[in-house]
Amino acid sequence: MKIGGRGTHGALICGAVVLGLLLSGCTSSAEPQSNTSPTSINGPSEVSSPAEPPTSVSPSPPTLNPDYALTINIVISKGKTIPSGEKINVRVGQEVILNVISDTDDEIHAHTGGDGYELPVRAGTPAKGSFTLDSAGSFEVESHHLEKIIVILNAR
Q: Return the amino acid letter for 111.
A: H
Closest to another protein by CB, 101 or 133: 133
Q: How far apart are CA 103 and CA 114, in angstroms?
A: 29
- Least CB distance from residue 25 to another protein, whole Å? 26
In the 8-state DSSP scheme, what is residue 63? G
- Least CB distance from residue 46 to another protein, whole Å? 28
Binding part of the chain for another protein, among 49-57, 69-77, 104-112, 124-132 by CB under 8 A, reads: 104-112
In the 8-state DSSP scheme, what is residue 113? S
Closest to another protein by CB, 21 or 144: 144
Size of the site for another protein (CB under 8 A): 31
Interface with another protein in residues 123-142 (CB under 8 A): 135-140, 142
Q: How far apart are CA 111 and CA 117, in angstroms?
A: 6
Binder among 37, 48, 112, 130 for another protein (CB under 8 A): 112
116 binds another protein (CB under 8 A): yes
Contact criterion met (CB below 8 Å) for 119 and 129? yes
What does residue 24 show for φ and ψ, rounded to 5 degrees? -65, -20
Beta strands in 6-105 (DSSP E): 70-77, 80-82, 86-90, 95-102
Judged by the rule CB under 8 A, the positions of this chain that interact with another protein are: 1-2, 5, 34, 80-81, 84-87, 109, 111-113, 116, 118, 135-140, 142, 144, 147-149, 152, 154-156
